Amino acid sequence: MSRNKSRQIGYAYSPEYTKLADLLPANIGRASLVDDMIRSHNLIEQCDDIISPCFASKDQLTAYHDSKFISYLLNEEDVTYSDSEDESDSGSHSSTHSSLPNEDVDKRLQERFGLEFDCPVFDGLDKYIRAISGTTIACARYLTSRNANDDKQRVAINWHGGRHHAGKDKCSGFCYVNDIVLGILELRKRFEKVMYVDLDLHHGDGVETAFAYSNKVLTVSVHRYDKGFFPGSGNSKFCGKGRGQNYTINLGLRAGLNDESLRRILRDVIWPSFERFQPEAVVLQCGADGLARDPTKEWNLSIRGLSSVILDIIDFGKPTLVVGGGGYNHMDAARLWCLVLGELLVGKEATEKWDMIPEGSNYIHMYVDDGYAYFPDEVRTINDLNSKDDYLDRVIEHTKMQIAKIDPILA
């Protein structure tokens, strides 16, 4: 397969942006590995466009997020808070927070806004959230700025975005602000209907909540679901609310999901949802934490297998915003996302020849345990429990009935 000449690829990149993305406590340094892998395969210069990362303004962030929440994250000193959530305290709080760990900060506001546990305050937090969100918004604008006479499919990629857990006024699950929601809102300024597909191991709860009442945004989340598994939402029976009924599709799956099962989900759920809904644009979250070697040890997807599903969704042919997400084996996340971009730019025939990490990589020493192989042994001895007791059959059948209730004309 050679490069698709009818497609225009925009990649969000700058060395300064990579450094800011590296700050995320859950994935320190991952952005550098990703962009180094892409650079060492000479892909950056082959992109049709480099999308300039930029800082989101407060107005852009509050297009969805609560103003007080954003003011606190941005470390604004002139904001007074009235803590209505604590009836025992009728006073107000004039508070700021420092990004330095030894500074005395307002612990109660940190708890209120979710700045604890998996979302700690860190030095440069304000710049980080503005850069991630601003860049996803810039990617959305890259898609909406397409000339009406241009018949090329535009694809915009921000591998350092994809923070799908963040709520309207609370950080959650390594996600401080929800750049995906902000990106979808930007897309909807031009495209009436947007389809969101989430392939992360964890449920895309923040995006789902934002659009649960909408019949203009169809959300499809393929995720691990079990009692006690974060974030605890995403039961296949939940399908939206109000006029958004049936426009929320959840595939809550068991441990061990493999390439074959994911491909079946693509065929029997994701593609039929797309055909039924007929969106004008697609947003695709490509979390890498379902890969076989991810330390979460929940799913058994291969780099090639997950990449092929991502590429097939891009091949639906609509303007597509592609973002990253989870992925805690940083080297495998870099392999996956570089492979996706590589196939888009140079084609499958070229990427099939990739066998070793390029010698020009600045981080080649980190791949020594894999013998510098691009595709290391990914097999784990874990059964796909979704095939047990016809579980996947039942989930898909339930979802098919829901898809049939989507009204493409109403939407």
Residue 137 scores a pLDDT above 90: yes
The answer to whether the Cα torsion of 134, 149, 195, 197 is positive or negative is negative
Of the chain, the percentage scoring pLDDT greater than 90 comes to 86
Token pair listed for 300: 């058994």
Q: Is there a contact between 188 and 304 (Cβ–Cβ < 8 Å)?
A: no
Which residue is catalytic, options 41, 165, 223, 330? 165
Which is nearest to 282 in space by CA: 234, 327, 319, 253?
319
Lowest-confidence pick of 56-65, 103-112, 120-129, 330-339? 103-112
The confidence score (pLDDT) of residue 146 equals 77
> Token pair for residue 11?
């990649």
Token pair listed for 83: 């803590």
Work out the burial of residue 264: count CB atoms within 10 Å of its CB; fewer than 13 is exposed, 13-18 middle, 19 or more buried.
middle
Q: Three-class SS of residue 75? A: coil
Distance CA 58, CA 39 (A): 32
Q: What is the average pLDDT score of the chain?
A: 92
pLDDT digits (tens, 9 = 90+) for 248-277: 999 999 999 999 999 999 999 999 999 999
- Label residue 382 by pLDDT band (50, 70, 90): confident
248, containing H or E segment: strand 248-253
Tokens of 366: 């980190």
Calculate ∠ Cα 314-276-317, nearest 5°: 20
Max Cα-Cα span within the chain? 66
pLDDT at position 123 is 97
- Give the residue-averaged pLDDT of 359-376: 97
Known catalytic residue at 65 = no
Residue 5: per-residue pLDDT:
73
- The number of helices, as runs of H, and strands, as runs of E, in the chain is 14, 10
| Digit-coded pLDDT (tens) for 11-43 | 999 999 999 999 999 999 999 999 999 999 999
CA 303, CA 296: separation in Å to the nearest integer? 16
- Whether the CB-CB separation of 252 and 395 falls below 8 Å is answered with yes
Element (H, E) at 195: strand 194-198
Mean pLDDT of 232-246: 96
Quote the CA–CA distance of 120 and 118 in Å, as a whole number.
Answer: 6
| Backbone φ, ψ for residue 270 (5° rounding) | -65, -50
Confidence (pTM): 0.93
* 75-105 pLDDT, tens digit each: 986 444 454 444 333 333 444 444 434 344 4
Q: What is the mean pLDDT of residues 48-74?
A: 98
pLDDT value of residue 92: 39
Work out the pLDDT band at 328, boundaries 50, 70, 90: very high
pLDDT confidence of 381, banded at 50, 70, 90?
confident
Pairing of strands 49-51, 7-12: parallel
Among 48-62, 75-89, 237-251, 316-330, the least confident range:
75-89
Q: How far is it, in rounded angstroms, from Cα 378 to Cα 331?
A: 13
